Each structure stands twice: as C-alpha cells, then as structure tokens.
Structure 1
Amino acid sequence: MKQLNKIQSALFLLGGVLMVVGACSFVLKQIYPSLVETTSWVFLLGTVLFSVIQSMQTYEGKSPVIHRLKRIQNVANILFIFAGISMVDTVYTFTEKWLGNPQLFYSILYGKWIVVMLVASILELYTTFRISHEMKGEECK
C-alpha cells in the first residue's frame, strides 16, 4: 500500500475528525438550530478531504482481493461524499425547488443522508479490517 506523507496523513485525519464533528453536531439541531447550517458544510468538507486522500492511497501489489477491497472502499468514499451533499440539501432544500413538489422531496430525499452514511461506514469498516488482514497475510508469505 502506498504510504501517505505527513501532510496527506494530517489532511486525512482532519477529514475524519470533521466528518465526526459535523455528523455529531447535526444531531444537536434541536438545541442549536443555527449550528446546523455550519455543521453540514463541515461534514461535507470532511467527507471530501477523507475520500480524496484515501483514494490517493493506492495499492501497488498483485493481490486481486486487495484490489477488490480498494474498489469497494472507493464506492464507500463516493457514498460519503453523496451523504455530505445530501446533508447540505437537507438543511438548504435545494432539490425541493427543482422537484417542485415538497411532498416528493420529503418522501424521497429529506434526511436520507443518514442511511447513505451508515452504508458507507459499514463498507469502510469492512474494507479497512479486511485490507489490514490481507496485508498481514501478504507479509507472512
């Protein structure tokens, strides 16, 4: 696996922290409604940083299993970015204006970022642990 340099590692960590802070702060929208507008953008910035830096970390070996896992990880990265865009859309309701029907917007898109983020998180956890396990198996050979 291609190692990240110090700046890339710091940006990767910052992206992960921004994702967690943005998602957790979004939950506090009932207590601090003005906080939601900022935290949705914080989450989106975190997802972009995390996903871009993680996709820069390529696998240069020959194991088809790890190549497959990296592709799954890239799908999770795309889902994270989509969840961030969907969170911003939940706050600002951009697509409600495009759809023209508020009921259609609320039934199809409103709040669905949580499901997308959950799926991306499960894929990310699975691929991270499997890649780590496969890399250890490769070192033993």
Structure 2
Amino acid sequence: MKQLSKLQSTLFLIGGVLMVVGAGCYAFLVAQQVVCWVYLVGALIFASMQVNQTYEGNNPTIKRLKRIMTTADIFFVLSGLLMVDSAYMFLRDSFSDTVTYLNLIYNKWVLMLLVAAILEMYTMHRIGSELKKEEAE
C-alpha cells in the first residue's frame, strides 16, 4: 500500500475525529444543525485521504478489498448527506406526504453509517492480514 504523507495522515486522522464527534453529538441531540456539517466535512476528508492511499501490487484480493473500502467511503459520505437532510429536511417537499418521507429518508443515515463502518472494519482487517501474507512470501 502506498503510504500517505504526514499531511495526508494528519488530515485522515482529523477527518476520522470529525466524523466521530459529528455522529456522536448528533446522536445525543447536541446542536444537530451544526454537527451534521462537521460529520459531513469529516467524512469527505476521511474518504478522500483513504482513496489517495492506493495499492500498487498485483494481489487481486487486496484490489477487491480496496474497491469494497471505496464503497464504504461512499456510504460514509452518503450517511453525512442523509444526516444533513435529517437535520434540515430538505427532501421532505419532494415527497407527496410526510409519512413517506419519514419512512424512506428520515434518520436513515444511521443505517448507512452502520453498513459503512462494518465494511470499513472488515476491509481494514483483511487488507492488513493480506499485506502480512504478501510480505512473508
């Protein structure tokens, strides 16, 4: 795996911290209309830095896992967008009635975040073990 520079590593860490702070504060109802943006900015920084960390080898397993990790990054960003919508209800007017909006969109950021976190943990663990196997060979 290509190593990130010190600046990129710092931005990666800051993005992760912003995501945790944003999601935690939003879940505990602390200034939701502000922290939703904090989470979204963190998710964008985190995802962009993770996409910059490329794999330059030939192992198809690691390449597949890297694509899954990119999918998780997309889910993190979509989670942020849904969180912003849950705070401001931008999309409510796009639906014929409020009940449909509430059933389909409102607070679905939690589901996206859960899926992204599970994919992220799985791929990070598997990539680490695959890189160790690759070094042992």
Instruction: Name the TM-score, length of structure 2 as normaliser.
Output: 0.98
Give 1:100 shift. Answer: 3.7
Map of 2:25 onto structure 1: 25
The residue that corresponds to 1:72 in the other structure is: 68
Report % sequence identity: 46
Within the alignment, does 1:49 sit opposite 2:45 as a pair? yes
Supply the distance in 2 between the matched residues of 1:100 and 1:94 (Cα, whole angstroms). 14
Across the aligned residues of Structure 1 and Structure 2, the Cα RMSD in angstroms comes to 0.7
**Residue 11 (structure 2) pairs with residue 11 (structure 1):** yes
What are the residue-to-residue correspondences of 1:91-106 with 2, within 5 Å?
91-106=87-102
Paired residues in the alignment total 137
Q: Could you tell me which runs of 5 or more consecutive residues in structure 1 were left unpaired when the two chains were aligned.
A: none
* Displacement over 4 Å in runs of 4+: none
Distance across 2 between alignment mates of 1:28 and 1:69: 33
Q: Distance in 1 between matches of 2:110 and 2:3?
A: 31
CA deviations on 1:77-123 (whole Å, 9 max, x unpaired) are: 00000000000000000110122421111010101000110000000
TM-score, L = length of structure 1: 0.95
